[in-house]
Amino acid sequence: EPEVTQTPSHQVTQMGQEVILRCVPISNHLYFYWYRQILGQKVEFLVSFYNNEISEKSEIFDDQFSVERPDGSNFTLKIRSTKLEDSAMYFCASNRGAKAGYTFGSGTRLTVV
Amino acid sequence: GDSVTQMEGPVTLSEEAFLTINCTYTATGYPSLFWYVQYPGEGLQLLLKATKADDKGSNKGFEATYRKETTSFHLEKGSVQVSDSAVYFCALSFSPGGYNKLIFGAGTRLAVHP
């Protein structure tokens, strides 16, 4: 069964550093998403991406965040200057569109120290 | 705003017990409703969904009915197994296929003991 692949599974970074979280969505999917889950809290929507542009973003997704689909297969989330409160599990997801469910990746646990 | 409320966990059951995890929602429109499951160390997997009132979603012995009058989508299973131990998330979306953003509940951890 096709999978959404996320790398790395765990990343530790120092506060103020830039991080890039990587995702390979399912190849025939058209919509791509990032969600995050701070430990013990809800899974929160960050951003959706379609046709090479952001279709929706949450208030969490401020100027420190950006997304990119650089080569038609990868989908990345960049955090420019990490803060302690960015520590969370980040999930990538994709789907084909209407009447198709999401497929989530296994997540990247980001720890900012 | 739109939101999902789930019963707090953890829920601890013996094998073959009956499971109910409550979920209620607040939404301005007519959302689709979902249950996702997260097994230890894995991502979120769609367990079942319902796209309109009175629909029943079912999968792997789990089922949930979309109740518009009570704005609820409670998850049930008649006889749980140890392998059902996981975190269960209720979610809503305004697109039938869920291609709009999902709004999740806080998750309910289920632990099933032999």
Residue-wise pLDDT for A38-83, tens only, equals 987 889 999 999 888 998 899 999 999 999 998 888 999 999 999 9
- How close A37 gets to chain B, by Cα (Å)? 10
Q: Which of A34, A30, A18 is nearest to A67 (CA)?
A: A34
Q: Check residue B1 and give its pLDDT.
A: 78
Which of B43, B105, B106 is the closest to A91 by Cβ?
A: B43
Interface test with chain B among A5, A35, A104, by most B beta carbons within 10 Å: A104
Task: Report the C-alpha gap between B68 and B66 in whole angstroms.
Answer: 6
Question: Using an 8 Å Cβ cutoff, are A96 and A31 in contact?
Answer: yes
Check A98 against B44: CB less than 8 A apart.
Answer: no
CB neighbour list of residue A72: distance below 8 Å, 6 or more residues apart: none
How far, in Å, are B19, B58, B75, B84, B97 from residue B15 at the CA level?
10, 20, 17, 9, 33
Residues of B in contact with A33 (CB under 8 A): 101
The share of chain A scoring above pLDDT 70, in percent, equals 97
The tens digit of pLDDT for each residue in B58-105 reads 999 999 999 999 999 999 999 999 999 999 999 998 765 445 788 999
Beta bridge partners of A50: A31, A53
Task: Report the C-alpha gap between A77 and A59 in whole angstroms.
Answer: 16
Beta bridge partners of B46: B36
Using DSSP, state whether B8 is helix, strand or coil.
coil
Q: Check residue A96 and give its pLDDT.
A: 83
Residues of B in contact with A58 (CB under 8 A): 101
**pLDDT level of residue A100 (50, 70, 90 thresholds):** low
- Per-residue tokens: B70: 């009570």
Please name the amino acid found at residue B110. Answer: L
- How close B106 gets to chain A, by Cα (Å)? 4
- Report the chain A residue with the minimal C-alpha distance to residue B38: A106
Does any CB of chain A come closer than 8 Å to the CB of residue B89?
A: yes
Does any CB of chain A come closer than 8 Å to the CB of residue B57?
A: no
Residue B2 has pLDDT above 90, yes or no: no
Start-to-end C-alpha separation, chain A = 36
Residue A17 has pLDDT above 90, yes or no: yes
- HSE (CB half, 13 Å, CA atoms) of A47? 20
Q: State the SS3 of B44-72.
A: EEEEEEECCCCCEEEECCEEEECECCCCE
Q: Check residue A23 and give its pLDDT.
A: 97
Does any CB of chain A come closer than 8 Å to the CB of residue B82?
A: no
